Structures are given as C-alpha cells and as structure tokens.
Amino acid sequence: MRKNSRLPNLHNLGIHLRILLIVNLLAVMAAILLSNQLNEFFPLLAQLSALVQPILLLSMLGLYGLYPILKQLKYWQGIIAIVVLEIAFISLVYLFINRLFAFDSTTEIYRAYLLTAIVTGIVLYYFYLQERAYSPAIAEARLQALQARIRPHFLFNSINAVLSLIRSQPKRAETALEDMADLFRVLMSENRDLVPLAQEIGLCHQYLDLEKLRLEDRLKISWQIDDMPSDAIIPPLILQPLLENAVYHGIEPMPEGGEIIVKIYTKHKELHIIINNPYASQSNHHTGNKMALKNIKERLKLHFDLESSVKTEAKNNRYEVHIRIPFGI
Amino acid sequence: MSVLKILIADDEAPARNRMRDLLTDIENVAVVAEAKNGKEAIDLAQQTKPDLLLLDIRMPLMDGIEAAQHAQKLEPKPHIIFTTAFDAYAVKAFDLNAIDYLLKPIRLDRLQTAINKAHALKPKQLDALRPLQKIRTHLSIHERGRVLLVPVETIIYLRAELKYITVRTAEREYLVEESLTHLETEFGERFIRLHRNCLVAPQFISGYEKRLNQDNEQQWVAILKGIPETIAISRRQQHLVRES
C-alpha cells in the first residue's frame, strides 16, 4: 500500500452516490444467487433491500458525521475504524429489527458481520483504486509544468526579455528574475495540498507581470474579484495555467492585443472562476495542447469528484473557461 | 567593406531592443527598420531595402515564415535569418533544410557567425517549410516593381484569366501569377467554386438571380456585396443556388 493513500472524502455527494450504487449492486447479485427462478428474484431483493437500505442510510449519516475525526487518522487506522463502525451499525440495525419485529435472528449476526466486513472492504478498495487511477494527474502536473504548462516558448522569451532590460533597466530586470524564481518554485513543488485562493492570485500577478514585460500594452487584464473569498482553498495551479493559455491563444496572435477578464465569485456555496479571453478562430496560431485543461479537470475530479465542473465555450470571438468548485469544505 | 543593412521583425519590443543592443556590438551593420509583424516587415523592407531580414517566427497578423515567402519577390532579394524562442517543429524543419536560424536568447557569437555567412534562401527551401503554417494570410502581388500584400479575408473572388488570376477586393483588381487549383486547395475553406474559372468567398455573396447571357440563355448569376460585377454560375454548381 502506498504511503500517501487517503480515505475518500466522506463529505462529498459523489462518493456517497458511489457507495450507494456499489452496495445495491452487490445486493442485486446476492438476490440473483439466492433465487432459483426469476419469480423468486424480486421478493428476495425486496427482503434484502429492507435490511440493506437502513444499514446504508445509517452508515452514510454516521460516516458523514464522523468524517472530521476519521480524516485525522492514518490511512490504515481509518480503514479499521470504518470496518468497526460498520459492524457497530449493523448490530444496531439488527437490535432494532429484533425489537420491532421480535423475530430471532441472533444466529445470523456473525454471518452478517462477515458480510459487512467484506462489502466494506470492496467499497474501500474501489476508492483506493480510483484514487490511484487519478493520482498520476498530480505527479504529471509537476512534469507538465516544466514541459508544457510553462511553455518553453514562455521561458525563453522571458529570459530574452530580462536580458534586454539588464543594460538599460537593471532594477526591473531584478524584479522580473525574482518573479520568475517564485513562479518556478511553485511549479516545481509537490502540488498535493490545497492552497488559499489569495496565494494563487498572487502567483498569477507575478506571472502576468512577466508577460507584461514582453507584451507591454497588448496585454490588458481585468480582475473582477471584489466578491472573491480570498480564504477559500483550491488546488494549486488551477488559475495560472489557464491564464497562460489565455495569453498564448488570445493575446499573442492579436496585433493589437486584447483583454483577459477574470471573474471570481461565490454562489450557492460554490466558488466560480471564469476566465474569458479574445479568440480568433481563423488565426494561424499553433493550435495548442489541451494538456493544461485536461490536467486541471483530472485534478479537480480527484479533489472534489462530481461536485466540481469545468466548462469551456467559444462564441463571439471570445473563449471562456468556467470552473465550479465546492466552497467551504 | 560595405555596411550590411538589417531589418528586425519581432512582435515583442524587449526582443527587438535586445537584438539592437547585440547588433551595436557587431561591426559594419546598421539597423534600418524595426517591424512588429511580418506584414510590416515586408512593407518597411520595400522602403528601406535591407540586405538582411531577422525574422521572428511567431508573430501576429503574418508570421515570419510567410513573410520570408513574400520577401522572395522583393528586389533586391534580402538574406533571411529566422529567430525563435522555441518552435520544436520549425527548428526541425530548418535543420532538415539547412536554413539559418537563431535560438533566443541569442548569443553574440552565434549572431556574428550567422551574419558573416548570411545567404539568400532558395524558394525550394522555403517551400519545404510550408507545412508549418496551414494557409497564407496575405497574397503578395508584384506590381510596377513593388510588392503589395492583399489580406486574404478582403478578397471577394479569384478568377482565372488567360495567364493570370484576377484578385478582386472591394477597392480594386490585382493580377497574380498562381494557379487557381493551387489557390483552391490552400483556401478551400474560404472560397467556393461557382464556375470552372472562378472562386468566390461566400460571405460576399448577397443573392442569386436568373439572367440572360450573351447566347440568350437563362443562367444563374451571383450578386456580390459592394461591387457591381456578377459571377455566372456553371450548370454543375447550380445546386449551390438551391441550397442557399
């Protein structure tokens, strides 16, 4: 087992939806196995369901409530805690059913414990595999940062711009090199933990200062972030690569340049980030890679599952990326 | 030794400044013009007649490679050296064709060597670079010793005459020595063939009408925006009228 595995985010609706699906699918399989004929299947499934649904409901509520505590544990401790919790939940349900319907099912309880442990194991293993499937996106983020996201084009042009300043404006050259160092420090670091939104915005300012050096008045940017919750936490490098795309595809091909609009606000407990840039569909500009966008989608999915979305739209000669992530978790 | 006249083309001012700084350290050269894109480079080159164009590859409006192609029609034909920060495909193409290019940031000694051996490109070498850019943004037209650049998006129709192609914009007509088939393959997305000898940009067509031609036969013609001429539609292309 890898060191960095984490329990699934039990405050996420998508995760609960998956738990619901897997367990019910297993119940259907059990009903199929137990029934000899098709007409036995539905009564059996209903019977199983009557037992499974209360357990599921109790588990989901319990795990949701206890997640802040579970989160503190090491991965293996969390696994044990969840299995123990599930066994406790099933005991509760059995106790309740015994009281209510007064039939004797004590003989079944050990069988039920065993089944619970197996089903819990299957679900946790599923989430473990899922995390592993998406984790390369995070490792790749670092690599791509050097290869594609910070485009070599940007790196060498920036160095060239700094060189042009050294003789005439050494102070500006100094600031530019400092900005570059900061930018690359972030790009080369382990980008696993969430960062405050204000920090990402700061990074974007440094990046844009560098681009301004090259593009001068051609690059205009309008920040519409008055309603932004600067303490919101987001995965790092969500905004910067998108701004880089906007500059590369939206500003550089235009002789007169253009304006990039960044809008950040919250609505219904969700953080919305919108980046809007000019876009010439007929330009001869290299059709850039969709790597940055793809990587951001994968990382958001890993962090927030179904609760985040990335939408892109091109119309009226402008291109827009709209990111939605849950706020306040 | 005579002074080598140089034109610098780059969309980024710092890059132009840097190039000028470097050139001050090289003897017997003079910067005669600076351009912000390929089109400006060609226009300025006609006024200043430089011996050498230093062309950045990625520029808005018209990139360096297209500018180099149009520059082949200039008189006298300038030498060309490309400059680029990073264009993996371009660099590969240059290596294959042994065309001179400089990688930014440019080193003084590399620049010096390139200028020492500055040589004119052969059109064949430039043809090999064509795949880099999909389609030209401008047609270059030779007229009374000058090269005129006509933006492709202003062209209403292209009509094959005996030896030339007539290029019609809202302002006037130009003659260009190219083949209509070649133009059709390159700009196929922009023009439709209404007649055996004519390609028309659909956004300039305002409607269709049936008219009598010289042989007193009914024939469909396309009415064009901004100019009085009409374009006859051949029988084979009449489905276009019905579809519109």
Nearest CB to B21: which of A161, A167, A286? A167
Over the stretch B186-233, which tens digit does the pLDDT of each residue have?
888 889 998 889 999 999 999 888 888 778 888 888 999 989 988 888
Q: Do residues B177 and B209 share a domain?
A: yes
Question: How far is it between the farthest Cα atoms of chain B?
Answer: 74
Q: Do residues B26 and B122 share a domain?
A: yes
Is A161 part of the contact surface with chain B (CB cutoff 8 Å)?
Answer: yes
Average pLDDT on A296-311 reads 85
Q: Do residues B166 and B89 share a domain?
A: no
Q: Do residues A215 and A305 share a domain?
A: yes
Q: Do residues A117 and A26 share a domain?
A: yes
Q: Which residues pair with B208 in a beta bridge?
A: B222
B104, B132, B160 — which closes off a domain?
B132
A80, A99, A134 — which closes off a domain?
A134
Is B213 part of the contact surface with chain A (CB cutoff 8 Å)?
Answer: no
The answer to whether A255 contacts B58, with C-beta atoms less than 8 Å apart, is no
Over the stretch B3-52, which tens digit does the pLDDT of each residue have?
889 999 999 999 999 999 999 999 889 999 999 999 999 999 999 999 99
Q: Do residues A168 and A306 share a domain?
A: yes
Over the stretch B38-81, which tens digit does the pLDDT of each residue have?
999 999 999 999 999 999 988 998 988 889 889 888 888 888 88
What stretch of H or E contains A194?
none
Does pLDDT of A260 surpass 60?
A: yes
Q: Residue A260 is encoded by which pair of tokens?
A: 């990039």
Q: Do residues A123 and A185 share a domain?
A: no
Q: Do residues B124 and B110 share a domain?
A: yes
Nearest CB to B18: which of A164, A252, A254? A164
Instruction: Please report the pLDDT score of residue A2 as a whole number.
Output: 45
B108, B132, B156 — which closes off a domain?
B132
CA atoms within 13 A on the CB side of B113: 8
Does pLDDT of A1 surpass 50?
A: no
CATH number of the domain residue A256 falls in = 3.30.565.10
Nearest CB to A160: which of B37, B85, B137? B85
Does pLDDT of A161 surpass 70?
A: yes
CATH number of the domain residue B15 falls in = 3.40.50.2300
What's chain A's average pLDDT? 83
Contact criterion met (CB below 8 Å) for B38 and B9: yes
Q: What is the DSSP string of A30-72?
A: HHHHH-SSHHHHHHHHHHHHHHHHHHHHHHHHHHHHHHHHHTT
pTM given for the model: 0.70
ipTM for this prediction:
0.72
Single-letter code of the amino acid located at B33: A
The answer to whether A255 contacts B60, with C-beta atoms less than 8 Å apart, is yes
Range of the domain at A22: 13-134
| C-alpha torsion angle, residues B54, B55, B56, B60 (rounded to 10) | 140
Nearest CB to B15: which of A155, A160, A284? A160
Q: Do residues A72 and A104 share a domain?
A: yes
Cα angle B56-B71-B109, degrees, rounded to a multiple of 5: 45
Q: Which of B10, B24, B65, B104 to mutate to test the interface with A (most CBs of A within 10 A)?
A: B104
Instruction: Please report the pLDDT score of residue A285 as a whole number.
Output: 45
Contacts of B57 in chain A (CB under 8 A): none
Instruction: Please report the pLDDT score of residue B24 as a whole number.
Output: 93
CATH number of the domain residue B180 falls in = 2.40.50.1020
Instruction: Please report the pLDDT score of residue B150 as a whole number.
Output: 93
**10 Å Cβ neighbour count for B91?**
15
**Could you say which residues from 201 to 240 on chain A have a Cβ atom under 8 Å away from some Cβ of chain B?**
213-216
The answer to whether A157 contacts B85, with C-beta atoms less than 8 Å apart, is yes
B125, exposed or middle or buried, with CB in 10 Å at 0-12, 13-18, 19+? middle
Instruction: Please report the pLDDT score of residue A286 as a whole number.
Output: 47
Q: Residue B212 is encoded by which pair of tokens?
A: 């009598």
Residues 6+ apart with CB under 8 A from A21: none
Query: In this predicted model, which residue has the larger pLDDT, A37 or B41?
Result: B41
**Could you say which residues from 100 to 139 on chain B have a Cβ atom under 8 Å away from some Cβ of chain A?**
103-106, 133-135, 137
Q: Which of B8, B10, B11 to mutate to test the interface with A (most CBs of A within 10 A)?
A: B11
Nearest CB to A253: which of B17, B18, B60? B60
Range of the domain at B15: 4-132
CA A257 to chain centre: 33
Instruction: Please report the pLDDT score of residue B124 as a whole number.
Output: 59
Over the stretch A167-221, which tens digit does the pLDDT of each residue have?
889 999 999 999 999 888 887 776 567 889 999 999 999 999 999 999 999 999 9
Q: Do residues A320 and A181 share a domain?
A: yes
Over the stretch B148-174, which tens digit does the pLDDT of each residue have?
999 999 999 999 988 899 999 999 999
Contact criterion met (CB below 8 Å) for A189 and A287: no
Residue B175: DSSP 8-state: E
Q: Do residues A197 and A56 share a domain?
A: no
- Number of domains observed in the structure of chain B: 2
Does pLDDT of A10 surpass 50?
A: yes
Instruction: Please report the pLDDT score of residue B95 as a whole number.
Output: 65
Domain assignment of residue A2, yes or no? no
The answer to whether B11 contacts A164, with C-beta atoms less than 8 Å apart, is no
Nearest CB to B86: which of A152, A161, A165? A152
Nearest chain B Cα to A160, which residue? B105
Nearest chain B Cα to A166, which residue? B18
Q: Which of B8, B16, B17 to mutate to test the interface with A (most CBs of A within 10 A)?
A: B17
The answer to whether A167 contacts B37, with C-beta atoms less than 8 Å apart, is no
Instruction: Please report the pLDDT score of residue B3 as a whole number.
Output: 86
Q: Do residues A84 and A195 share a domain?
A: no
Does pLDDT of A93 surpass 80?
A: yes
CA-nearest of B123, B185, B127, B199 to B157 is B199
Domain assignment of residue A212, yes or no? yes
Q: Do residues A191 and A316 share a domain?
A: yes
B107, B132, B157 — which closes off a domain?
B132
Nearest CB to B17: which of A157, A164, A284? A164
The answer to whether A284 contacts B103, with C-beta atoms less than 8 Å apart, is no
Q: Do residues A183 and A320 share a domain?
A: yes
- Number of domains observed in the structure of chain A: 2
**Lowest-pLDDT range of A2-6, B134-138, B240-244:** A2-6
What SS3 state is found at B161? coil
Over the stretch B100-155, which tens digit does the pLDDT of each residue have?
788 889 999 999 988 887 755 666 566 666 545 567 889 999 888 888 999 999 99
